[in-house]
Chain A
Amino acid sequence: MIIDPIKQGLASGWDHRDGALLTEDLTLEADVAIIGSGAGGGVSAEILSQAGLKVLIIEEGPLKSSTDFKMMEKDAYPALYQESAGRQTADKAISIFQGRAVGGTTVVNWTTSFRTPDRTLDYWKENFAVEGFSAQEMLPWFLKMEQRLNIDTWKAPPNENNSILQRGLTKLGIPSHTIRRNVLGCWNLGYCGMGCPTNAKQSMLVTTLPAALNSGATLISRCRVEKIQFKSDQVVGLDCLALDASGNRPSGTKVTVKAKHYVLAGGAINSPALLLRSKAADPNKTIGARTFLHPVNAVAAEMPKRVEAYSGAPQSIYSDYFQQQDHAQEMGFKLEVPPLHPVLISIILGEFGEHHASLMQRYPRVHAMIALLRDGFHEQSQGGQVKLRDDGSPLLDYPITDYLWDGFRRAWKSMAETQFAAGAHRVIPMHLDSPVMGYSSWQEARREIDELPLQALRARLLSAHVMGGCAMGEDPKRSVVNSQGRFHHADNLWVFDGSAFPTSISANPQLSIYGLAAKQASGLAQRLTGTIPVSQSA
């Protein structure tokens, strides 16, 4: 019997309001209103509420918990992901997997945890006038969050899907390493992407948010912040729309929020979109610019033995070999593997009919590998621009430059070579112009991959990491918030989430967001209470 900490907390009297159940308009007041409950919002909520401040957390997604997490794709994607896991860039070339529930993407991520690489932090300081984010200054915040979320090197053997990555790279003389994960008592099931059914994943849902609610915070779910109300250099309120039971449409009930300070933590794409929708001051057109994705391309392989890529910790092995060299001239990438569940693999395989059915029949022997491109560090990699659709919903326009295409091409080759080195029978780059049954040797793959057309919509491209769009820095001409996270054009509006990153992280970003939010929220708590906050939970 799994104990559901959310059900218990609600029974103990947490102040949670479900927007879909509201029958009349509502006004809520707080010291600090936090928009979004993911990595940035969750950490901020814990720190600010434990500092004695009255905190209100506003989340667009539903409150779901382990009792609801049945490891079924058909239920998890519509319930827990932005746009039913169907979010795409404007030209539909890149599919974006981003969470939307209480706990945000931390509810559905694969638990992979990296500190922000030193050279990313150095780049921010040198190129974006970011202050206070040196490796030395960030170390205590990473340590704090690693302890809080039990982030540790994965001790169990990697599953076969990860093991193939390790074996292939070893054959090629390329180093790989074990991933650190934010889990406690993990059952090694492999269903992290559908919400952890055992509460082992130390997501915001089972850590910081319960702590905040225990400290008297209020949570309102299924409630969308439509507009931030500005009055000269102050935010004076939030106009919110309660959503109906589907979670996609306003129910007609309105929620008004009045607070002394406002923390924006809706994640990259949604945070800049809210600022744009609110017509926030933007004299230098920086809001929504430089939004990054770690664009991902993939290669599937048919292995001689069972892989069962649906089972076991999704990610436990990685390699930074292809991004460690000085890539001033070419795009670097990180190698990892994705878990494969039936809907996900069936969608990524672009064929239909008998060919598709035949590939699906090999499913238990299918291995897949992904390359995460390190976007944002080159003049030909300036990321995308968040825009608004006619209905005010966000849309990311992310052009794919030749520089990125070159990175994808080299990544397909590196991945194919690694899979053949690990004993793959055949390898298929996820590209509509790949041969249906792929390539049967590395020599063939190396030759043929050079011929694949580098065109949007032909290559199957993905992203699970959205970053940037509200870049921080001391130069208002190139940033949206300052190094403390304060919006350049309002004294009481702060951005504490992954949208504040001036580039991509070049590693899975959750721990970078935790560290940033812990640092910034502690700074805000100190400013508002006059004392340095001491965590009661860590």
Chain B
Amino acid sequence: MLSRRQLLKTGIAGVCMLGAARLAYGPFGENVSAYSSALSDQFQWLTPQRANIVSRFAPVMLQGAIPANNPARQQTLDEVVYGFDLAVSGLTPAIQKEVDQLFMLLELAPSRRLLFQVWDGWDHATDQQLADFLNAMKNHPIGLLQTAYAALHKLTMAAWYGNPKSWERIGYPGPPHHLFGGVS
């Protein structure tokens, strides 16, 4: 494990590097496959590469909350990724820019390696590695990374728990639409 001091140093280096790399190359990704689903042509904000990152994190974030087996699991995940895109699309331009920077941090190989110790790209990370990564980010001494965790957490949770399919498992009957003669 890295010490707090090392993490701080690499963290700051990573953030600086991100800035430098953006100036030099603009946003770029590495070893990130393109994601596609029946819903992905409706995306307003996610690129196929970013959707792929979301689709890797979402099942770890929602472990135990979404169906364990296919095909229900895959369909649910597709809806979560779609919901994530909808949630980001509704944000103001200034906040979208911040989410954009978060994804650059995740996409960029140097920052991914330095900050998150993920060497071979998100495609190859195991669920355990992804969970470790989320925990590290949640408890990271650098506030920026804690806020990055909070953003991923909020957007993923909102994408799932805003979906009526999540409600049966948590015992929520849903809004009392029956009093209005159903949703019109």
A contacts, CB < 8 Å to B: 2, 70-74, 77-78, 83-84, 86, 91-92, 187, 189, 191, 197, 246, 248-249, 310, 342-343, 345-347, 350, 352-354, 356-358, 360-361, 363-364, 389, 391, 393, 432, 456-457
- Pick the 4 closest A-B CB pairs, nearest first: A357-B64, A74-B162, A71-B175, A78-B90
- For B33-47 the 0/1 string (1 means CB < 8 A from A) is 000000000000000
Given contact pairs A343-B158, A360-B170, A432-B138, A83 touches B64 in the complex (Cβ within 8 A): no
How would you classify the secondary structure of chain B's contact residues: helix, strand, loop or mixed?
helix
In the complex the two chains form, is A350's CB within 8 Å of B172's CB? no
In the complex the two chains form, is A83's CB within 8 Å of B143's CB? no
In the complex the two chains form, is A363's CB within 8 Å of B171's CB? yes
Identity of the chain A residue whose Cβ is nearest the Cβ of B59 in the assembled complex: A353
In the complex the two chains form, is A457's CB within 8 Å of B143's CB? yes
In the complex the two chains form, is B175's CB within 8 Å of A70's CB? yes
Residues of B within 8 A of A353 (CB): 60-64, 131, 134
Contact pick for A74, options B158, B170, B180, CB 8 Å: B158
Residues of B within 8 A of A73 (CB): 158, 161-162
Given contact pairs A74-B163, A78-B90, A393-B92, A352 touches B60 in the complex (Cβ within 8 A): yes
Contact pick for B154, options A86, A197, A248, CB 8 Å: A86
Since A352-B131, A363-B170, A457-B147 are in contact, a sample of 12 more A-B pairs with Cβ atoms closer than 8 Å, ordered by chain A residue number, is A70-B175, A70-B177, A74-B158, A84-B90, A86-B91, A187-B179, A342-B162, A342-B166, A347-B154, A347-B158, A393-B94, A456-B143
Residues of B within 8 A of A343 (CB): 157-158, 161-162
Contact pick for B180, options A2, A249, A342, A356, CB 8 Å: A2
Number of residue pairs A-B, CB distance < 8 angstroms: 124
Residues of B within 8 A of A346 (CB): 157-158, 160-161
Tell me if B5 counts as interface (CB < 8 A to partner A). Answer: no
Residues of B within 8 A of A350 (CB): 138, 150, 153
Residues of B within 8 A of A83 (CB): 91-92, 95
**Residues of B82-139 whose CB lies within 8 A of A:** 83, 86-87, 89-95, 131, 134, 138-139
Min CB–CB distance A216 → chain B (angstroms): 32
- For B151-184 the 0/1 string (1 means CB < 8 A from A) is 0011001101111001101111001110110010
Given contact pairs A70-B175, A84-B90, A342-B167, A354 touches B157 in the complex (Cβ within 8 A): no
Identity of the chain A residue whose Cβ is nearest the Cβ of B158 in the assembled complex: A343
Q: State in angstroms the CA–CA spacing of A191 and B179 once bound together.
A: 13
Identity of the chain A residue whose Cβ is nearest the Cβ of B169 in the assembled complex: A361
Residues of B within 8 A of A197 (CB): 180
Min CB–CB distance B183 → chain A (angstroms): 6
Identity of the chain B residue whose Cβ is nearest the Cβ of A357 in the assembled complex: B64
Tell me if B74 counts as interface (CB < 8 A to partner A). Answer: no
Residues of A within 8 A of B166 (CB): 342
Min CB–CB distance B86 → chain A (angstroms): 8
Contact pick for A86, options B89, B95, B171, CB 8 Å: B95
Min CB–CB distance B144 → chain A (angstroms): 9
In the complex the two chains form, is B157's CB within 8 Å of A347's CB? yes
**Residues of B15-37 whose CB lies within 8 A of A:** none
Min CB–CB distance A309 → chain B (angstroms): 10
Min CB–CB distance A65 → chain B (angstroms): 14
Tell me if B146 counts as interface (CB < 8 A to partner A). Answer: yes
Q: Which of B134, B154, B179 has the most CB of A within 10 A?
A: B154
Identity of the chain A residue whose Cβ is nearest the Cβ of B156 in the assembled complex: A352
Q: Which of A77, A342, A345, A356 has the most CB of B within 10 A?
A: A342
Q: State in angstroms the CA–CA spacing of A187 and B175 once bound together.
A: 13
Tell me if B72 counts as interface (CB < 8 A to partner A). Answer: no
Contact pick for B90, options A70, A248, A363, A391, CB 8 Å: A248
Q: State in angstroms the CA–CA spacing of A432 and B90 once bound together.
A: 27
In the complex the two chains form, is B183's CB within 8 Å of A70's CB? yes
Min CB–CB distance B72 → chain A (angstroms): 16
Q: State in angstroms the CA–CA spacing of A363 and B161 once bound together.
A: 12
Min CB–CB distance A270 → chain B (angstroms): 12
Contact pick for A357, options B65, B87, B93, B138, CB 8 Å: B65
Residues of A within 8 A of B131 (CB): 352-353
In the complex the two chains form, is B157's CB within 8 Å of A249's CB? no
In the complex the two chains form, is B172's CB within 8 Å of A84's CB? no
Min CB–CB distance A398 → chain B (angstroms): 15
In the complex the two chains form, is A356's CB within 8 Å of B183's CB? no
In the complex the two chains form, is A360's CB within 8 Å of B65's CB? yes
Residues of A within 8 A of B94 (CB): 389, 391, 393
